[in-house]
């Protein structure tokens, strides 16, 4: 049976927007600053994304540790809000590729 793979790569400013939108929906607050780095990490059996944020106005750095599930929800919600079509029946995963978050979709 044929399989389809699709990847959407989000820019750092799109990542910030997606995180802000999700935080606003849940009442959470993000540290100020632009996303300057992304790397994946693992603690026990849980996967996280560590986002480096830099607030240029205050010249201050911050790190945001984002669970994989929250990253996935943020990118899915951002895609829906901006009109990016997503296949419903696809298995969706978030990956860090070249310092950016990507939404990978596997359709069987």
pLDDT of residue 62: 93
pTM of this prediction? Answer: 0.88
Question: What are the residue ranges of helices labelled H in 1-108?
Answer: 12-26, 68-82
- How confident is the prediction along the chain (108 residues), in pLDDT tens digits per residue? 778 899 999 999 999 999 998 888 877 888 899 999 999 998 888 999 999 999 999 999 999 999 999 999 999 999 999 999 999 989 999 999 999 999 999 998
| Nearest in space to 90 (alpha carbons), one of 2, 29, 3 | 3
Nearest-angstrom CA–CA distance, 93 and 79:
14
pLDDT of residue 48: 94
* DSSP states of 37-63: EEEEEEETTEEEEEEEEEETTTTEEEE
Q: How far is CA 86 from the centre of its chain?
A: 15
């Amino acid at each position: 049976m044929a399989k389809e793979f699709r990847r959407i790569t989000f820019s750092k400013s799109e990542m910030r927007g997606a995180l802000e939108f999700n935080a606003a929906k849940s009442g959470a607050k993000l540290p100020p600053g632009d996303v300057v780095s992304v790397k994946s990490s693992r603690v026990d059996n849980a996967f996280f994304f560590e986002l480096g944020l830099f607030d240029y106005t205050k010249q201050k750095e911050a790190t945001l540790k984002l669970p994989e599930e929250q990253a996935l929800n943020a990118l899915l919600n951002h895609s829906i809000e901006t009109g990016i079509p997503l296949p419903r029946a696809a298995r969706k995963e978030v990956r860090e590729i070249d310092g950016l978050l990507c939404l990978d979709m596997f359709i069987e």
